[in-house]
C-alpha cells in the first residue's frame, strides 16, 4: 500500500457520497473544515459536487500565512531593509500583504529575503553568512512549531550567534474555541486538521463537545478521508452525540507525537496571539522561552509590533473570510481586482488560502 490510490478509489468515493446523502438531515448543517489543505483537497477532487446542497462547509482559519497579522509582516519588512540582515521565510509568506507592501517588494529592493522549505535551512544560511544577522520568520501551527523548536535547539548546540527566530506560531484549539462561540457562524461540527493532530493527538479537542456540544472529527487529506470525516460528523449530529472521533487513525494517535510535544514545551511558552481576521485570542500563540532568548528576534531587537498595520485595506474581506462569515465570492474584490497573480489579501496568496482555492477550482 502506498496510502494514496487506495484513498482515491472512485467507486468507494461515490458510495460514501451516497451514504452521506442518505443520512443528511433536512435542515441546513454547518461544518467547518479548520485546515486550509482540507479546503484545497475538497475542491481539487470536486467533492463539493458530490455533497447535498444543504451541507454548508465553512473554510476555517487553518492557513498559517493568512492569519499572520499585518503588523507582523510590517515588522519583517522593516528588518529586511537592514542590509546586514538576511530574512528567511517559507515561500508563501513572500507575497502576503503588510499594511503598505510585502516581503516580495522588500526582496526586489534589497535582495536579502530568502525562501526555504524548512526551518533547518536557516541554520545553513546562518553558517554561510557569519557576518549577517539571519532572521527566520516562524509561522505555522502545532505541526510546524516542533520543527522550529528543533532548529532552535540545534542552533544552541552549535553555538550559532547570528541566527534569530521571529515567532508568530499559533495554536489551533484556542482558535476553534473562539469560533465555536460565534453565534453568527452556528458551527455544528469541526473537521479537524491532520498534521496538527498528528502532533497534539485527539485530547486537546475534547473540551469542544464537552463545553459546546459540538462534534469534532480528525480527518486525513485524501478524498475518502474527507468524506468519511463528514459522514462521521453527520452521524454525530443526527444522533445528537457530539464527541471527538478520529478518522485519520493511520497517522494520528490519541497522544499525538510525545517527542514533538516535548521539544515544543521545552522551547516555547503559551502566550496571547493576534490573528488576522479573528483578533487577539488568549493562550493561542507560542513565544520563545527566556532560556532561549539569544535566539529570539523579538527580544534581541526589542520589536514592538502592532497587530494591525497603519493602513487598512478597507475593501478586502479576508478577515470575514477567515472567520467563515462570508464566502470568497461575496467579497467585492474577488476575481476582479484580487487574483492569485495580483493578490490584495492573504487568503488569495497561499495555496492553503480559501480565496485561492475558490479562484482555482470554483
Partner 1 sequence: MCLGIPMRVKKIKGEFAEVEIGTLIRTVNIQMLPQVKIGDYVIVHAGFAIQRVNPERAEETLRLIDEIHRRISE
Give the interface with partner 1 as residue ranges (CB under 8 A): 1-4, 6-7, 12, 15-16, 19, 22, 35-37, 64, 90, 92, 117-121, 140, 143-144, 146-147, 150, 193-195, 198-199, 220-222, 224-225, 228, 231, 247, 249-253, 257, 259-260, 263, 352
Whichever of 333 and 349 has its CB closer to partner 1, that residue is 349
CA–CA dist 6, 1 (Å, integer): 8
The least CB distance from residue 207 to partner 1, in Å, is: 23
Whichever of 22 and 108 has its CB closer to partner 1, that residue is 22
Provide the H-helix boundaries in 201-341.
207-212, 223-239, 258-267, 297-300, 318-323
Whichever of 45 and 334 has its CB closer to partner 1, that residue is 45
The least CB distance from residue 175 to partner 1, in Å, is: 16
279: left (phi over 0), alpha (psi -120 to 50) or beta: left
Alpha-carbon dihedral 32, 37, 38, 42, rounded to 10 degrees: 120
Q: 275: which residues sit within 8 A by CB, 6+ positions away?
A: 61, 67, 69, 170, 175, 281, 284, 322
The least CB distance from residue 117 to partner 1, in Å, is: 6
Whichever of 172 and 333 has its CB closer to partner 1, that residue is 172
Question: Cell triple for residue 238?
Answer: 443526527
Whichever of 195 and 287 has its CB closer to partner 1, that residue is 195
Whichever of 3 and 182 has its CB closer to partner 1, that residue is 3
The phi, psi pair for 327, rounded to 5°, reads -90, 150
DSSP state string for 269-293: EEEEEEETTTEEEEEEEEEE-GGGG
The least CB distance from residue 198 to partner 1, in Å, is: 4
Whichever of 29 and 198 has its CB closer to partner 1, that residue is 198
CA 275, 199, 156: angle at the middle one, nearest 5?
A: 80
The least CB distance from residue 335 to partner 1, in Å, is: 24
The least CB distance from residue 19 to partner 1, in Å, is: 5
The least CB distance from residue 260 to partner 1, in Å, is: 5
CA–CA dist 27, 239 (Å, integer): 14
Dihedral sign computed on CA atoms, order 188, 193, 196, 202: positive
Whichever of 23 and 108 has its CB closer to partner 1, that residue is 23
The least CB distance from residue 110 to partner 1, in Å, is: 25
CA–CA dist 145, 82 (Å, integer): 27
Contact (Cβ atoms closer than 8 angstroms) between residue 131 and residue 106: no
Amino acid at each position: 500500500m502506498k496510502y494514496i490510490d487506495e484513498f482515491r478509489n472512485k467507486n468507494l468515493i461515490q458510495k460514501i457520497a451516497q451514504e452521506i446523502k442518505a443520512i443528511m438531515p433536512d435542515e441546513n448543517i454547518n461544518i467547518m473544515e479548520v485546515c486550509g489543505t482540507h479546503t484545497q483537497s475538497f475542491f481539487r477532487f470536486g467533492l463539493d459536487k458530490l455533497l447535498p446542497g444543504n451541507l454548508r462547509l465553512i473554510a476555517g482559519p487553518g492557513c498559517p500565512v493568512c492569519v499572520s497579522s499585518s503588523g507582523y509582516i510590517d515588522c519583517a519588512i522593516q528588518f529586511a531593509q537592514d542590509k546586514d540582515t538576511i530574512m528567511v521565510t517559507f515561500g508563501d509568506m513572500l507575497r502576503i500583504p503588510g499594511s503598505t507592501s510585502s516581503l516580495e517588494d522588500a526582496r526586489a529592493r534589497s535582495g536579502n529575503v530568502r525562501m526555504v522549505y524548512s526551518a533547518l535551512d536557516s541554520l545553513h544560511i546562518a553558517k554561510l553568512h557569519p557576518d549577517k544577522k539571519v532572521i527566520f520568520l516562524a509561522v505555522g501551527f502545532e505541526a510546524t512549531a516542533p520543527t522550529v523548536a528543533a532548529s532552535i535547539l540545534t542552533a544552541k548546540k552549535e553555538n550559532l550567534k547570528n541566527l534569530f527566530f521571529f515567532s508568530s506560531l499559533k495554536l489551533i484549539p484556542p482558535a476553534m474555541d473562539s469560533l465555536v462561540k460565534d453565534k453568527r457562524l452556528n458551527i455544528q461540527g469541526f473537521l479537524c486538521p491532520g498534521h496538527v493532530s498528528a502532533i497534539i493527538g485527539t485530547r486537546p479537542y475534547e473540551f469542544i463537545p464537552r463545553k459546546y456540544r459540538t462534534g469534532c472529527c480528525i480527518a486525513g487529506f485524501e478524498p475518502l478521508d474527507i468524506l468519511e470525516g463528514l459522514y462521521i460528523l453527520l452521524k454525530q449530529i443526527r444522533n445528537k452525540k457530539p464527541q471527538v472521533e478520529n478518522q485519520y487513525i493511520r497517522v494520528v494517535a490519541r497522544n499525538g507525537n510525545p517527542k514533538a510535544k516535548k521539544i515544543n514545551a521545552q522551547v516555547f511558552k503559551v502566550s496571547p496571539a493576534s490573528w488576522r481576521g479573528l483578533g487577539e485570542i488568549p493562550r493561542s500563540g507560542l513565544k520563545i522561552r527566556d532560556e532561549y532568548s539569544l535566539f529570539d528576534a523579538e527580544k534581541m531587537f526589542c520589536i514592538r509590533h502592532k497587530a494591525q498595520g497603519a493602513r487598512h485595506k478597507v475593501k478586502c474581506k479576508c478577515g470575514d473570510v477567515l472567520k467563515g462569515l462570508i464566502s470568497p465570492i461575496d467579497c467585492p474584490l474577488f476575481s476582479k481586482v484580487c487574483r492569485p497573480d495580483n493578490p490584495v489579501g492573504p487568503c488569495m496568496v497561499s495555496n492553503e488560502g480559501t480565496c485561492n482555492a475558490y479562484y482555482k477550482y470554483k
